[in-house]
């Protein structure tokens, strides 16, 4: 009687997540948003959704509100959803 192969799919699933987490870029935007008030947060979220707002503009906007060390690349990654914000850490 042939024994069915043990199911390893859970390991592969974990591997995919570990791989994704490694590829995900660290992102300071989550921390920036924690420091913003409600109004600024909604403005920023709208800016992310708007294709007309350039990443550099968002960097300037954030630095006016005290956020240092942001780069347009952070904005681009955040928009694409390839930053760690989506993993919730
Ligand atoms: Zn992010």
C-alpha 45 – ligand 1 centre gap (Å)? 11
Distance between CA atoms of residues 22 and 48, nearest Å: 24
pTM of the prediction?
A: 0.72
Tens-digit pLDDT profile for residues 78-88: 998 888 887 65
C-alpha 83 – ligand 1 centre gap (Å)? 5
C-alpha 22 – ligand 1 centre gap (Å)? 14
C-alpha 81 – ligand 1 centre gap (Å)? 7
Distance between CA atoms of residues 48 and 46, nearest Å: 5
Tens-digit pLDDT profile for residues 7-38: 999 998 898 888 877 777 788 998 899 899 99
Residue 25 contacts residue 83 (beta carbons within 8 Å): yes
Residues near ligand 1 ion, CB 5 Å cutoff? 27, 29, 78, 83, 85
């Amino acid at each position: 009687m042939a024994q069915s192969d043990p199911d390893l799919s859970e390991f592969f699933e974990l591997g995919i997540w570990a791989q994704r987490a490694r590829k995900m870029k660290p992102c300071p935007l989550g921390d920036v948003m924690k420091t913003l008030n409600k109004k600024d947060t909604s403005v920023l979220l709208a800016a992310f959704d708007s294709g007309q707002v350039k990443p550099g503009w968002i960097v300037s906007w954030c630095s006016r509100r005290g956020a240092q060390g942001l780069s347009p690349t952070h904005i681009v990654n955040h928009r694409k959803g390839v930053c760690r914000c989506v993993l919730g850490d």
